[in-house]
Amino acid sequence: QLQLTESGGGLVQAGGSLRLSCAASGGTFNEYAMGWFRQAPGKEREFVAAINWIGDNALYEDFVKGRFTISRDNDKNMVYLEMSNLKPEDTAVYYCKADPESWAADENVYWGQGTQVTVSS
């Protein structure tokens, strides 16, 4: 069973940068597409970015295009979210998600516990 642990959140001023990390353990990491989602207070969880199992295809929600970059290191079982030019509206709890690729033996989806990002104006 895959376990995901996020880190790297914190308080940053508008215009600043942060790098979130998600460490995976307990499974075959390169059988999963990885994604980042976020949830602001009083709002539903929303998609931010995703990357395929080998890291050569990434998707971004429009509101982060050009500011956030998702990447992964399959040797280290890590996925990252580089965030720049942060805005107060980026304030949220950021979650890491693992989705099994179609050919993976595991069919389960996994979530991390989240890491808080707060952007002050």
Rg of the chain over CA atoms, in angstroms? Answer: 14
What integer pLDDT is reported at residue 33 of this predicted model?
98
Q: For 15, left (φ over 0), alpha (ψ -120 to 50), or beta?
A: left
What integer pLDDT is reported at residue 105 of this predicted model?
87
pLDDT (tens, 9 = 90+) of the chain, 121 residues, equals 899 999 999 999 999 999 999 999 998 999 999 999 999 999 999 999 999 999 999 999 999 999 999 999 999 999 999 999 999 999 999 999 999 998 888 899 999 999 999 999 9
Give the Cβ contact number of residue 113 at 10 Å.
11
Closest CA to 81 of 117, 53, 42, 39: 117
